[in-house]
């Protein structure tokens, strides 16, 4: 069975409308917890947020959780306090800005350990996007990072 050009265009338009509604409109009225994951060896990084849409002068609250899935203790050392970060990308994958942009970190030699099954959590409230480099409202992709490995990207709509 061959579809006519009009039927194909209708199917494509309906699919695009469904994706837009699912990603940006419906979640505003029915808050759903969203997750993104990243894995490096025996480490699982989870990014959790409820916001799908945020105003330029608003904030998005994110929880980053690093969990040791291995059978042995995992030790982490780092040379500054820049352990976690959030990155905002354009839809074409270009880095627009990041949470710690403009932040200074004291040089600290530190570290932490995670026993098998243990997790460490960071709670972040990112606000004032325009002050960190977002000049145009629109759709973006949000990625979480801990110890320089990241999660998948979640869509987020920034409104004026």
What is the CB neighbour count within 10 angstroms for residue 45? 22
Is the pLDDT at 80 greater than 70, yes or no?
A: no
Is the pLDDT at 143 greater than 70, yes or no?
A: yes
- Residue 127 backbone class (left: φ over 0; alpha: ψ -120 to 50; beta: rest): beta
Secondary structure of 59-119 in the HEC alphabet?
EEEEEEEEEECCCCCEEEEEEECCCEEEEEECCCCCEEEECCCCCCCCEEEEEEEECCCCE
Is the pLDDT at 82 greater than 70, yes or no?
A: no
pLDDT of residue 58: 86
Sign of CA dihedral 32, 147, 149, 85: positive
- Over the stretch 20-74, which tens digit does the pLDDT of each residue have? 666 555 555 555 678 999 999 899 999 999 888 888 888 899 999 999 999 999 8
Q: What average pLDDT does the chain have? A: 82
Q: How confident is the model at residue 149 (pLDDT cuts 50, 70, 90)?
A: confident
pTM exceeds cut of 0.85: no
Q: What is the mean pLDDT of residues 146-150?
A: 84
Is the pLDDT at 1 greater than 60, yes or no?
A: no
Q: What is the mean pLDDT of residues 97-123?
A: 77
pLDDT of residue 102: 63
pLDDT of residue 142: 95
Q: Which CATH number fits domain 31-159: 2.60.40.2360, 1.20.210.10, 3.50.50.60, 1.10.10.10?
A: 2.60.40.2360
Q: How confident is the model at residue 89 (pLDDT cuts 50, 70, 90)?
A: very high
Residue 6 parent element (H or E)? helix 5-20
């Amino acid at each position: 069975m061959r579809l006519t050009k009009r039927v194909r265009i209708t199917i494509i338009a309906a699919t695009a409308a469904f994706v837009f509604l699912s990603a940006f409109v419906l979640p505003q009225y029915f808050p759903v917890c969203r997750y993104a994951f990243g894995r490096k060896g025996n480490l699982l990084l989870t990014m959790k947020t409820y916001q799908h849409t945020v105003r330029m002068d608003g904030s998005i609250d994110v929880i980053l959780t690093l969990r040791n899935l291995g059978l042995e203790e995992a030790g982490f050392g780092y040379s500054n306090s820049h352990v976690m970060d959030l990155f905002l990308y354009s839809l074409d994958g270009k880095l627009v800005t990041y949470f710690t942009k403009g932040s200074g970190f004291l040089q600290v030699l530190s570290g932490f350990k995670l026993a098998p099954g243990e997790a460490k959590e960071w709670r972040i409230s990112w606000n004032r996007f325009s002050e960190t480099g977002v000049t145009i409202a629109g759709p973006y992709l949000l990625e979480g990072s801990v110890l320089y490995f990241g999660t998948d990207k979640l869509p987020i709509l920034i409104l004026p």
